[in-house]
Amino acid sequence: MPSLPVKHRLVRRNLLRGAVGLLPLLALPRILKAATPERRIAFLHTHTGETVDVVYSENDDYLPDALAEIDRVCRDFRTGTVHPIDPALLDLLNDVQQAAGKAGRFEIISAFRSPATNHMLAKAGSGVADRSLHLTGQAIDVRLPGVRTLDVQRIALERAGGGVGYYPDSDFVHLDTGRVRRW
């Protein structure tokens, strides 16, 4: 078999070296995933007095038992209806809390709402959207003790993770995982 010209051998050798050099990068996603810290969330529901303080994600895997605990505390307190809370909403809350540098628990004003509760609140004229993301477990109204709600709003807006509503008179912030918007 004839030998390749020198130029071709150099190109081939450099390609092989480059490919071998890239092999460690194949393991990078696993290394990064293993290095991701656990994510914890703590809530106090202001209407029921119930609390939860749980690690809900480890190594980027959501923990079903922890999510079930969160769903229970975030249920519609008027009807008792439980609905899954969007894990991306928990991640957003976790990010906001980390950025605020404040450990502790969020106080829930409103989380999941059943259609009956949402209809009742909308009919009462309290500024509730007919197709609120509270209906799908993608929205929560909270405050974080020790952090001004204006600062929670600012941090959430910087994250651009969804909608952010600021209610200074009621001292809470609405966060959701819908389209990015503010009010």
Q: Are the CB atoms for 46 and 108 separated by under 8 Å? A: yes
Give dist(CA 66, CA 91) in Å, integer.
14
Instruction: Retrieve residue 18's tokens.
Output: 């480059």
Do 15 and 94 share a structural domain?
no
Largest Cα–Cα separation, the chain: 88
For 111-155, the pLDDT digits (tens) are 999 999 999 999 888 778 888 999 999 999 999 999 999 999 999
What pLDDT score does 27 carry? 55
What pLDDT score does 106 carry? 98
Residue, of 179 and 18, whose pLDDT is higher: 179
For 1-36, the pLDDT digits (tens) are 566 566 665 655 665 566 555 555 555 555 444 556
Residue span of the structural domain in which 23 resides: 1-35
Collapsed DSSP state (helix, strand, coil) of residue 62: strand
Residues of the chain above pLDDT 70, percent: 80
Do 61 and 29 share a structural domain?
no
Q: Are the CB atoms for 164 and 152 separated by under 8 Å? A: no
Give dist(CA 138, CA 64) in Å, integer.
17
Do 70 and 30 share a structural domain?
no
- Lowest mean pLDDT, pick from 20-24, 104-108, 136-140, 170-174: 20-24
Sheet holding 39-45, edge to edge: 61-62, 51-58, 39-45, 106-110, 139-143, 172-176, 163-167, 181-182
Total structural domains within the chain: 2
Do 11 and 78 share a structural domain?
no
Q: How many CB atoms lie within 10 A of CB 15?
A: 10
pLDDT at residue 162 greater than cutoff 60: yes
Residue, of 110 and 24, whose pLDDT is higher: 110
Q: What's this model's pTM, rounded to 2 decimal places?
A: 0.80
Do 118 and 174 share a structural domain?
yes
